[in-house]
């Protein structure tokens, strides 16, 4: 089942997130297993499967990165199981700088402010890359979109690491 079809959406990176949430609530009510508690075992099993499918679709559709990966998968580009890395040497150099900055953050005079500044930088980069990704996907620039997805995976992972570092510094 195509998740875009399930939510009655065109296969597009740009989606109305409020509409996606509203459709999710409707589909949840229609497929919730409790609604079929008095049904046959087959009806119960089908309800659980349909409800899980609705949950999976919603998780994918609400996340820009997952949505882009899914769109590319529908277009024949499976990025989930690939071993390919980012080829942009300038981005790779920037990655190294950000990693060094994160590693040395504890030695800053105000590490939490430094973390916030780094997080802001990464967040701005994510916003920029998502705009470019939307453009590539709209124009069927699938190779370029795949490369941006690889970059975005790093950027999102970096934000997670920043959050973990912030948590660790706040606990001290």
Residue 52: C-alpha distances to residues 9, 28, 37, 171 (Å) = 19, 9, 16, 37
**What gap in Å lies between CA 67 and CA 69, rounded to an integer?**
5
Structural domains present in the chain: 3-62 (1.10.287.110), 89-171 (1.20.1280.20)
Q: Is 84 left (phi over 0), alpha (psi -120 to 50) or beta?
A: beta
pLDDT at 35 over 90: no
**What gap in Å lies between CA 102 and CA 139, rounded to an integer?**
36
Instruction: Give me the pLDDT at residue 43, please.
Output: 83
Q: Which two tokens stand for residue 144?
A: 């370029």
Instruction: Give me the pLDDT at residue 42, please.
Output: 86
Are 169 and 115 in contact by the 8 Å Cβ rule? The answer is yes
Share of the chain above pLDDT 90, in %: 73
pLDDT at 172 over 80: no
- Give me the chain's average pLDDT, please: 91
Instruction: Give me the pLDDT at residue 89, please.
Output: 87
**What gap in Å lies between CA 18 and CA 34, rounded to an integer?**
25
Residue 77: C-alpha distances to residues 3, 38, 121, 149 (Å) = 16, 43, 29, 11
Instruction: Give me the pLDDT at residue 171, please.
Output: 76
**What gap in Å lies between CA 72 and CA 11, rounded to an integer?**
10
**What gap in Å lies between CA 136 and CA 3, rounded to an integer?**
21
Instruction: Summarize pLDDT for 73-122 with one digit per residue, the tens.
Output: 999 888 766 666 777 889 989 999 999 999 999 899 999 999 999 999 99
């Amino acid at each position: 089942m195509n998740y875009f079809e399930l939510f009655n959406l065109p296969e597009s990176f740009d989606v109305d997130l409020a509409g996606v949430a509203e459709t999710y609530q409707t589909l949840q009510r229609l497929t919730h297993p409790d609604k079929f508690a008095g049904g046959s075992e087959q009806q119960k099993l089908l309800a659980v499967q349909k409800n899980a499918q609705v949950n999976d679709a919603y998780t994918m559709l609400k996340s820009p990165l997952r949505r882009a990966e899914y769109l590319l998968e529908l277009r024949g580009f499976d990025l989930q199981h690939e071993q390919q890395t980012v080829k942009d040497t300038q981005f790779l150099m920037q990655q190294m700088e950000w990693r060094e900055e994160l590693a040395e953050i504890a030695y800053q005079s105000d590490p939490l402010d430094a973390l916030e500044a780094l997080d802001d930088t990464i967040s701005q980069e994510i916003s920029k890359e998502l705009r470019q990704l939307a453009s590539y996907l709209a124009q069927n620039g699938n190779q370029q979109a795949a490369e941006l997805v690889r970059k975005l995976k790093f950027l999102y992972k970096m934000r997670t690491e920043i959050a973990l570092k912030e948590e660790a510094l706040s606990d001290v």
